[in-house]
Amino acid sequence: MPENQNPEQSTEIHLFTDGGCSGNPGPGGWGFILRSLATGKEIERSGGSPHTTNNQMELEAVIQGLCTLTSSCKVKIFTDSTYVGKGISEWLPGWKARDWQRREGNRLVPIKNQEHWQRLDQELERHEVTYIKVKGHSDHPENDRADELAVAAYQKYL
């Protein structure tokens, strides 16, 4: 086993996430379900903010889910957010190489939600992550539940 690999990294986890806002920006919420495939144990959590954006809440759901894990794991992230998925699977290496900037025409500009992406990047370093795109509001039970958690979290601010 490689020196930097934790023996617990073979633990497989499914992380179902969603985030949203009432208005964009507006009051927002995030929710997640964390499921251990080995034990079947699940954890649900949610939270919110009085003034945020949909994308920030989508990111926060993933960040909070990964932060909940106490050791390195194989994590499959199920999200309906193309923004989060493409960020994880395509954009993140380029942003980091360009000091958290993206190309806009002929110039570099700071990425949006940099603080969230940096926090997510720290969590991604701890785990072996796979992104799986889920169609939102399509009778996917865990995605629907994560959405319910997010909506209930932001309704506290309405």
Return the active site residues: 18-19, 58, 80, 137, 147
How far is CA 41 from its chain centroid?
20
DSSP string, 129-157: EEEEE--TTSS-HHHHHHHHHHHHHHHTT
Phi, psi of 88 (to 5 degrees): -70, -45
Distance CA 149, CA 29 (A): 8
